[in-house]
């Protein structure tokens, strides 16, 4: 997640919303533990769903970040 953000002038602290797709809902507890490492303070809003139609991946995360102008 942080690697993609490196291509833009934003940081994880600028993330305001994430959408997470998990291949297997039973992975949620482990995913949540790792996710908390990336967002230790104020966590962005998050939606998480199981998506059985994912190919060759276990997790997909879409993020929306906001940086105030100026």
Tell me the per-residue pLDDT of 23-39, one tens digit each, with 9 for 90 and over. Answer: 999 999 999 999 999 99
Map out the domains of the chain as residue ranges: 2-65
Per the CATH hierarchy, to which homologous superfamily does domain 2-65 belong? RutC-like (3.30.1330.40)
Instruction: Please report which helix (H) or strand (E) contains residue 31, including its range.
Output: helix 28-38
C-alpha angle with apex 56: 23 to 28, nearest 5 degrees? 20
Going by C-alpha positions, the residue among 9, 4, 1 that lies closest to residue 66 is: 9
The two structure tokens encoding residue 68: 């105030």
**Is 0.85 surpassed by the pTM of this model?**
no
The two structure tokens encoding residue 42: 């104020």
Between CA 43 and CA 22 the distance in angstroms is 19
**pLDDT < 50 positions in the chain:** none
């Amino acid at each position: 997640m942080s690697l993609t953000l490196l291509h833009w002038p934003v940081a994880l602290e600028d993330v305001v919303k994430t959408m997470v797709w998990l291949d297997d809902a039973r992975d949620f507890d482990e995913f949540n533990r790792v996710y908390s490492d990336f967002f230790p303070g104020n966590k962005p809003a998050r939606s998480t769903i199981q998506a059985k139609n994912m190919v060759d991946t276990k997790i997909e995360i879409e993020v929306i970040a906001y940086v105030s102008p100026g």
